[in-house]
Chain A
Amino acid sequence: EVQLVESGGGLVQPGGSLRLSCAASGFTFSSYAMTWVRQAPGKGLEWISTLTSSGGSTYYADSVKGRFTISRDNSKNTLYLQMNSLRAEDTAIYYCARERVVGATGDAFNIWGQGTVVTVSS
């Protein structure tokens, strides 16, 4: 079964750090670009970062650029999101998602994890 499972969310104080993980199974992880999307409580979806299949190129939304770092370990079939200098407005459900097409960057997302909740509050 094709699956993505996020972990690492939790409660963190403003200015703190957190690392999210997304474990992939059921497909050739190293062949796909991967993305993080978040959803603030009661709000819409926000694309925040994409990493190419090889890990050679990264893309970030302005809202997280310079604070968040996306990475992957293809030997462990795992995607990461290192989040530093967290702010209250980073409070959201964080989803990892897989591009629909092998090797593509910039495509629809046909596989999503269940999400992990990040709460930034003192």
Chain B
Amino acid sequence: DIQMTQSPSTLSASVGERVTITCRASRSISSWLAWYQQKPGKAPKLLMYEASRLESGVPSRFSGSGSGTEFTLTISSLQPDDFATYFCQQYIDDSRSTFGGGTKVEI
């Protein structure tokens, strides 16, 4: 199985700050990576797919980059609504997707 490692596990930031979350894959996944945002008591919400493509309706302050084994999700200017937990997901393997452990963005 492909292991996905996110860092940091917790991130303290302020409104207006630029925030970067990293996700590393145990082997190359090309650009088959997605990012999700999850708020307490809610289902995950797709933010990015194919590493850098913004899902429809997601604010442009979110961006993604990377390929191969290292990826980043950047929030250019953190907003109050962005305090949440973020997960990466690899989907290069049709039959066995895996998620990262999550990064909690808190004040």
Contacts and interface: CB of A to CB of B under 8 A. Distances in A.
Interface of A: 35, 37, 44-47, 50, 59, 61, 95, 100, 105-110, 112-115
A50 B91 CA distance: 12
B86 to A, nearest CB: 11
Given A110-B46, A112-B43, A112-B45, A50 B102 contact: no
Q: Which of B91, B92, B97, B99 has the most CB of A within 10 A?
A: B97
B26 to A, nearest CB: 15
Contacts of B93: 106
Interface of B: 32, 34, 36, 38, 42-46, 49-50, 55, 87, 89, 91-102
Contacts of B45: 112
B49 A108 contact: yes
Nearest to A100: B49
Contacts of A115: 43
A47 B43 contact: no
Given A44-B87, A45-B87, A108 B46 contact: yes
Given A95-B43, A112-B43, A114-B43, A45 B99 contact: yes
Contacts of B96: 47, 59, 61
B13 to A, nearest CB: 20
A41 to B, nearest CB: 12
A106 B49 CA distance: 12
Given A105-B95, A106-B32, A114-B43, 10 more contacts: A44-B87, A44-B100, A46-B99, A100-B46, A106-B93, A106-B97, A108-B34, A108-B46, A108-B50, A114-B42
